Structure 1
């Protein structure tokens, strides 16, 4: 019975629900109710709101310095995309409160047009996850999660930052809850002239026309309609504008504007041996491109999604758990000056997951999923995970899965060039987690292997335009490692989080490394606290990165190391004043050819907690 109790604690949408209690106290409603189950079998890296304050410029900067993901950014604040375990941008799923939010048109997430502030956890899961999170969850998934706490009363916080290049970041949050009702609202406004200079070997790069601004509003509410029933709502609105950098003073100035709306309603039932979560969501993604910032838009699109999802979880016995998930989506889109008219796609899926807990030290999970994508033949997906704790200092986990990515609206309908005969990309993933713990150290070594077939690429045609095709196969393998260390000496507190990744991504036709996949990447974050003073330092090393498909060394991005540091003081546990220096060593570095990121720059910030 102890196993069952601990698992219901993890599986429940309420973070503090205990079967031994008749009434839950200080409970937490979690919108992504699958994440607690995922953590039973997979390593998940959690980034807290306090971690976000170390890299508040945008989501690209945060992921670059606090994760193993390689971020390709066309200049600070501009177009940005992820490479997770050597995959391309379309092989990372962005998941907002359990809902996949990758663009219908691009089939991926634009990192710098996804809000940074307003989440309670930002979680990163490596490896395949299409059985749970759908298309694109091949290299990994990035989870933007909110929760709502009960019995916490009133709380509020304010964060404000002024930084180099006329950059200003402001974030405010307020919440209220009692034993039956919880409410939380937050807002963020970021703006920057972003006119930085980079001097390298006698040349000066000026980030002309690089300004950006964006606004985000998050609102969430939850109400207990009965002792084990909760109805909840989460809503996010985002509005952003990016000006794209130009290389010469009289160059043509362009910009990109985007608006997103995400709204989710959930009805959750939690009893001793079963739980059910019914969700209905509406998401909207609109964008406009301006070929001349002083003229009307040149192109654009509007995308709308209607999503219905039911997640049923039942304990057949205290050791056997079955999870059945059904989902139906209606994806709609309309393009402007792209040849894409009014298009629509219906998507359904059914998945079943069986979990078996033999002992407290050994557990297994097996899942199968079938997607029904209109006009596209989709494969049967599967997953298998096992975790074993044979020794007090050693854990081992094994994960095998088949995953996929179906073609985007641009791949199918863009004119000219769209291809209605495209097949989904599919992958087979295999990875292991070897976790070693001794004293204050924990080391995780994760070798991985995957192959991706029917890779979708845009290639030139004899007709003079580019078109989408299913092309080559890619084999990817490597090693992720993660080290954590915590130590207290009286009032001295030390925390170290560091990671290293080795990535090989080989095009099976050319036998060459894929573009923008560094062989080596390492990150490290060191925190020290004494009394009211906190100090942090973070470093990132990125190895040689090819920017062409033929591994041309002269066009490759050279290795680089970037170091940031900051100090902050907190008075009366409420008032914090801090100072940060980014790129202390004044390193010249690029993540995309021709677009260097800023050299040494500074920021001053203050926060108040009520």
Structure 2
């Protein structure tokens, strides 16, 4: 019997805390144990490894075509950042197996330097989540999760792809598990010359655009006693990006990064309570080269030592108390930045109460206080409720206060850092409506958000850029999505269509924030018959201003991009696929001056052992 697994099943099926039932099942251990609770109250988008293969180039492409997130990318494979609901990249939390991994220096993650090939699921959550996932979870959060299966024996798979612009992707996975022990490993390597041309956009050539990256994942779990389990996971990443230049006469530059993440967890699960204690270490190293053939011109090293405890107690079958405590030591050392051996202690205490009146009505209330060295942090709160009004309609509400504290660059960069900065804070409200009629699931979520003390780098009277608490930002809009799936005989059809409208205004200037499109539409159609599979996906992006003054002549024009792919499974274990990206040869850019590729192709082979 696995108590934790039974409770998770009850969470998903009935939406209430009941004492676990006796059942012998193959168990699954999930490192991010908060996510099973988040799903009870919030709509999330889950992207499986099979869906990720449709957009295997990088994480930017995957999020662009399969979620409502706007991705600003300086050309294919280059610097890339996300935007949720009209916020900035710094207001998006990247969460690795329950641990916030945003950079100590920039306070954000470079999407193309976050590998996704070795993960078991990618989860996209819109809306604030600082109570559960910490600083930066204002606009939304992106979760990269691994899990470990028991009683599954030995398995292995190889995914290999060759694509346009001398691009090659290879991913190898292997796993073994029995009743008490589970182990999983993966290795991913990607390389591309990335020298595409866009003749219809001023004859643009992506000069000096090559990139390569390597990633390894290792994880294991052991059941040391009937109610106790020890788990471990580690990830190692090495990336190299060359930054595009416009003319041959320009000096080519590049950026290199090396990241290490490691986590040990001790889980104790009983009928009425559970406790998960985690100790984690994360490290980021980066170097910028003003000349690819010269020594580094700037860089830095950030290290985080993290202790986190998640305690759940079932007061009565319908009432659950959740206490989350965390302590971190954040260290940073810059090169040619004025940041010299910085250390900061960060602690937090969060309490959440969940009450289930019936299996159709549930509430959650949470409060959290952060203790950040030398920074006054606000009290955060969250409230969510969900009501299954009928068998075809659910309604949910959420209100929260979220925050982001200043980064090392914001505080200590020389010149320009500002030690007097205050944290950004936001208030958010959303109303979730979900309909399920004749197998069609429709979700419609209007939302409102207000941010104050936003941190921006602006020209100072001394002639250089400096960090200031400036703008008040108001963002409102709607997110909607339709999902439909049907199986009949050997036929299987899955479709989804998402639309979002975003109005994000700087209240000091009454202008739309830059790189926040008013409209985004994305959709996927996946059809499978016996051993054949066909998919089509499309993405429309509306008018997007590329400056803070809403200059129409400098804005990114609306565009529609469509991809398609086909695959065939041979002898059960071999799958061969072919993809066409940007079928209609659309000229488009997600960042001014950096067009994305025109029509391009790839072939892939997937082998299961």
Q: TM above 0.5, one fold?
A: yes
Note the 1:126-275 alignment, pairs <5 A. 126-200=126-200, 203-275=202-274
Structure 1 residue 330, shift from structure 2 partner? 0.2
2-side partners of 1:125 and 1:573: how far apart?
35
List alignment gaps of at least 5 residues for structure 1.
Answer: none
SS at match of 1:545: coil
Aligned match of 2:289: 290
Aligned match of 1:84: 84
Asked if 1 retains the 8 angstrom alpha-carbon contact of 2:129 and 2:402, the reply is yes
Asked if 1 retains the 8 angstrom alpha-carbon contact of 2:151 and 2:179, the reply is yes
Structure 1 residue 487, shift from structure 2 partner? 1.9
Deviations 1:7-65 (A, max 9, x none): 454569xxxx993326x431011100000000000001100000110001110000000
Structure 1 residue 493, shift from structure 2 partner? 1.4
Deviations 1:82-138 (A, max 9, x none): 011110110100000000000000000110100121001100111000000000000
List alignment gaps of at least 5 residues for structure 2.
Answer: 13-17
SS at match of 1:159: strand
SS at match of 2:41: coil
Structure 1 residue 572, shift from structure 2 partner? 2.7
1-side partners of 2:261 and 2:478: how far apart?
35
Asked if 2 retains the 8 angstrom alpha-carbon contact of 1:10 and 1:36, the reply is no
Asked if 1 retains the 8 angstrom alpha-carbon contact of 2:495 and 2:526, the reply is yes
Asked if 2 retains the 8 angstrom alpha-carbon contact of 1:25 and 1:151, the reply is no
1-side partners of 2:257 and 2:35: how far apart?
29
Note the 1:27-176 alignment, pairs <5 A. 27-176=27-176
Asked if 1 retains the 8 angstrom alpha-carbon contact of 2:19 and 2:317, the reply is no
1-side partners of 2:19 and 2:437: how far apart?
30
Aligned match of 2:458: 459
Deviations 1:261-285 (A, max 9, x none): 0000000011111100000000000
SS at match of 2:283: strand
2-side partners of 1:487 and 1:331: how far apart?
49
Aligned match of 1:19: 20
SS at match of 2:411: helix
Deviations 1:327-364 (A, max 9, x none): 00000000000011110110000000000000000000
2-side partners of 1:234 and 1:18: how far apart?
30
Aligned match of 2:445: 446
SS at match of 2:40: coil
Q: TM-score, normalised by structure 1?
A: 0.97
Structure 1 residue 472, shift from structure 2 partner? 1.3
1-side partners of 2:431 and 2:103: how far apart?
30
Q: TM-score, normalised by structure 2?
A: 0.97
- Confirm or deny that 1:559 pairs with 2:558: yes
Asked if 1 retains the 8 angstrom alpha-carbon contact of 2:253 and 2:290, the reply is yes
2-side partners of 1:118 and 1:18: how far apart?
34
Asked if 2 retains the 8 angstrom alpha-carbon contact of 1:8 and 1:272, the reply is no
What is the count of residue pairs matched by the alignment?
601
1-side partners of 2:461 and 2:319: how far apart?
58
2-side partners of 1:547 and 1:9: how far apart?
46
Structure 1 residue 543, shift from structure 2 partner? 0.1
Aligned match of 1:546: 545
Asked if 2 retains the 8 angstrom alpha-carbon contact of 1:11 and 1:34, the reply is no
1-side partners of 2:426 and 2:409: how far apart?
21
1-side partners of 2:497 and 2:268: how far apart?
39
SS at match of 1:324: strand
Asked if 1 retains the 8 angstrom alpha-carbon contact of 2:7 and 2:19, the reply is no
Note the 1:451-600 alignment, pairs <5 A. 451-600=450-599
Structure 1 vs Structure 2 CA RMSD: 1.3
Aligned match of 2:602: 603
1-side partners of 2:38 and 2:416: how far apart?
39
2-side partners of 1:472 and 1:233: how far apart?
42
2-side partners of 1:10 and 1:48: how far apart?
22
Deviations 1:521-552 (A, max 9, x none): 00001000111000000000000000111100
